[in-house]
Structure 1
Amino acid sequence: MSDPSSPTPETEPAGEAVQQQARCGLVAIVGRPNVGKSTLLNALVGQKVSITSRKAQTTRHRITGIRTVDDAQFVFVDTPGFQTKHGTALNRTLNRTVQGVLADVDVILFIVEAGRFGLDDAKVLALMQTEAMKHKPVILVANKLDQVHRRAELAPWLQGMQQRHSFAEFVPLSARKDDDVKRLLAIVRPYLPEQPWFYDEEALTDRSERFLASELIREKLFRLTGDELPYTSTVVIDEFKEEGNLRRIAATIIVERDAHKGMVIGDKGERLKRIGTEARTELEKLMDAKVFLELWVKVRSGWADDEERLRTYGYE
């Protein structure tokens, strides 16, 4: 539902049908780490384009997902969770990405957990309250509604949120429920500018298969190592070749210490083998092609605080 006290966006006139002009716009998805941004992006697009993990700081790049519904094309931009706890060069780069995205978009989806609002959420909200941002519509999306057991408790929480910022809309939902996602799309649509589409109707993302390969391998890395492995680990694609319906991919997992290398490889190489198998299986589905995947693990101490190495690894 949208907040009834919020200004209602323009609607099409009632009566006989009118020809609708195409709409297209950039929609940022922002919030603190681990609030469900990537899960929501994948649900909005209708297919996985951003990796998900219980580990914070999973998303590190500006991921664009595209969804075209009738006359409207939504170009969603998933951002890294805004970092407040560690001052590494990596986190400074991630925060610059968030701020750069906000400057470019037409509407912002500010994701929080339904019924919760902490200091990290407040720091993200502050980015949208600068002089340059104050005219951009911000939609408050209260995610993980399925985890709220007493819905009546949301009313005072919402009242407090409205006092923090003049949100254009309030949308409680669960990113895992298709009806909720469709409702969010309908609410966002009137905020898209009337202009031609940026992409073909069938497009799902502007990212290359090479990039998606590195992201999926990194997802399996974090999912299968749990909390053992620090988030300062990454994946670099060394080789990506297309041979008809075959993709030959060689990738290196970069870690900071020898002990981390052992965690990734596992007993007799079993964990690394499982990371490769699960990544290959999902890549074959995503690319609709046969995938031959080779994985290596290398130690690069201090890479997350080395500006030159960050650029080499693809962090802008």
Structure 2
Amino acid sequence: MTDYPNGEGTLNRPSADSPDFLTFDEPLIPIAPPGYRSGFVGIIGRPNVGKSTLMNQLVGQKIAITSPVAQTTRNRLRGILTTPQAQIIFVDTPGIHKPHHQLGEVLVKNAQIAIDSVDVVLFVVDGSVPSGKGDRFVTELIRRTDTRVILGLNKIDQQPEETEAIAQIDQTYAEIAEERGWSLVKFSALSGAGLEELQSNLVEALEPGPYYYPPDLVTDQPERFIMGELIREQILLHTREEVPHSVAISIDRVEEAPDITRILATINVERNSQKGILIGKSGQMLKTIGSAARQQIQKLIMGKVYLELFVRVQPKWRQSRNQLAEFGYRIED
């Protein structure tokens, strides 16, 4: 891989004092010892199979938002796991689905690009149910690449209790893996069961390589991006119907003081009716969303936060290339 960081990230607290360190501007990146492995792992799959939950578990910190709503992930988000044996850069991608608007096309295109630009593809499926058309659609996309593939059966904690039923579900995925020569690992991103075996498989699949990022960096995304995602997560959790997919967050201002961080953010929606739902009666819904998001952001920055939210109507922003770019949604290189 030739993908190098620009030094910008979040939650980085370098503590190395060894002379065996190279500087890439700031922060410090160590020289990898002989036999050290590293590389990029693309987490690919249908919407709502638990890709973001999995990445959060693997890196040991919440950097990707999760919700019961399908297609929660929009940006190609990187999570970084550094161990004594390897540095794995996970690329969490939007769920692959049939797009219905310009935003959907951008999201699916970025997922397809990720398949060809990583060292290993981790194809995540919902192991609590048999494989279906959606899984076969993703399978066909992955077949076009020469990248090594690991098929991951998530949600084993939700499989039926009957041994025969479990075997029948597993067999539908085993046939896919055997036909294509893919390895298969079962796990639960929610409980953590099987993740040790998955991690071992991923390390073995990587080639020897350098540190791409400082060892204690957990994502390459700036804090402003994570703040916006945490606000969007609370909207996904507290609203239903058409609102969640019509929302884009703009972080307008971040002012840091010794005792508090003040954040001003705008929630962009497509219709006045959606604005009314988000504000709620006497502003109660917006207060609920703001309070919950503030608590999550405080965990992120480990300090007190004042969060002020505004709601703005931007008609048909998901169909506009200019507005998509303004909100950070573009086809990635």
Structure 1 CA distance for aligned equivalents of residues 278 and 82 of structure 2:
39
- Is 1:282–2:293 an aligned residue pair? no
Offset from partner CA, 1:212-269 (integer Å, 9 cap, x none) = 0000000001101133525121111111233345322111111111111111111111
Deviations 1:140-169 (A, max 9, x none): 0011111111323235323432355321x1
Instruction: Give the whole-Å Cα distance in 1 for the aligned partners of 2:307 and 2:220.
Output: 23
- Contact (CA 8 Å) 1:20, 1:71: kept in 2 or not? no
- 1:147 is aligned, of 132, 135, 158, to 158
The change in CA–CA distance for 1:22 and 1:142 in structure 2 (over 3 A counts) is same
Give structure 1 stretches of 5+ with no counterpart.
1-18
Q: Distance in 1 between matches of 2:158 and 2:193?
A: 17
Structure 2 counterpart of 1:236, from 229, 245, 250: 250
Check whether the contact 1:251–1:294 (CA below 8 A) recurs between aligned residues.
yes
Contact 2:130/2:173 (8 A) holds in 1 = no
After superposition, the Cα gap between the structure-2 partners of 1:228 and 1:89, relative to the gap in structure 1 and judged at 3 Å, is closer
Aligned 1:3-14 pairs, distance under 5 A: none
The amino acid across from 2:53 in the alignment is T
Alignment match, 2:123: 110
Q: How far apart, CA to CA, are the structure 1 residues paired with 2:328 and 2:171?
A: 44
Q: Does the 8 A contact of 1:228 with 1:263 survive in 2?
A: no
**Residue identity opposite 1:301 in structure 2:** P
> Post-superposition shift, 1:299?
0.9
2:176 counterpart (155, 158, 161): 161
Give a deviation string over 1:127-151, Cα, whole Å, max 9, x none: 2111xx1x21110001111111132
Q: In the alignment, is the contact (CA less than 8 A) between 2:130 and 2:169 conserved in 1?
A: no
Distance in 1 of aligned mates of 2:289 and 2:197: 36
Measured in 2, the distance between the counterparts of 1:85 and 1:23 equals 36
Where 1:84 maps in the other structure, the secondary structure is coil
Offset of 1:71 from its aligned partner? 2.1
Structure 1 pair 232/153, CA: closer, same or farther in 2 (3 Å)? Answer: same
SS at match of 1:297: strand
- Check conservation: 1:55, 1:227, Cα contact below 8 A: no
* Aligned position for 1:299: 313
Coordinate RMSD, CA, aligned:
1.6
State the 4+ residue runs in structure 1 displaced beyond 6 angstroms. none
Unpaired runs of at least 5, structure 2: 1-32
Distance 1:174 1:228 in 2: 30
Show the 5 A alignment for 1:1-316: 21-86=35-100, 88-114=101-127, 115-130=129-144, 133=145, 135-149=146-160, 150=162, 151-162=166-177, 165-167=180-182, 169-227=183-241, 229-244=243-258, 246-316=260-330
| Alignment CA distance shift 1:252-1:155 (3 Å) | closer
Residues 130 and 170, structure 2, Cα contact 8 Å, conserved in 1: no
Distance 1:77 1:207 in 2: 12
TM-score, length basis structure 2: 0.84
Q: Which residue of 1 aligns with 2:9?
A: none
Q: Which amino acid aligns with 1:156?
A: Q
| Aligned equivalent of 1:14 | none
CA 1:228–1:84: 2 relative to 1, 3 Å: closer
Q: Determine if contact 1:84/1:120 at 8 Å carries over to the other structure.
A: no
Distance verdict in 2 for CA 1:146–1:209, change over 3 Å: same
Tell me how far apart the structure 2 counterparts of residues 144 and 181 of structure 1 sit (CA, whole Å).
Answer: 12
Q: Distance in 1 between matches of 2:211 and 2:265?
A: 35
Contact map agreement 2:125 2:152 (CA 8 A) in 1: yes
Taking the aligned partners of 1:159 and 1:224, their CA distance within structure 2 comes to 38
TM-score (norm 1): 0.88
Deviations 1:177-210 (A, max 9, x none): 2342222111110111201111111111111110
Q: Provide the C-alpha distance between the structure 2 equivalents of 1:99 and 1:29, rounded to a whole number of angstroms.
A: 11
* Mapped partners of 1:50, 1:265: distance in 2: 25
Conservation of the 8 A alpha-carbon contact between 2:116 and 2:147:
no
Question: 1:32 deviation in Å?
Answer: 0.7
Q: CA deviation at 1:298?
A: 1.0
Q: 1: distance between equivalents of 2:305 and 2:241?
A: 29
Q: Is the 8 A contact 2:40 2:120 kept in 1?
A: yes
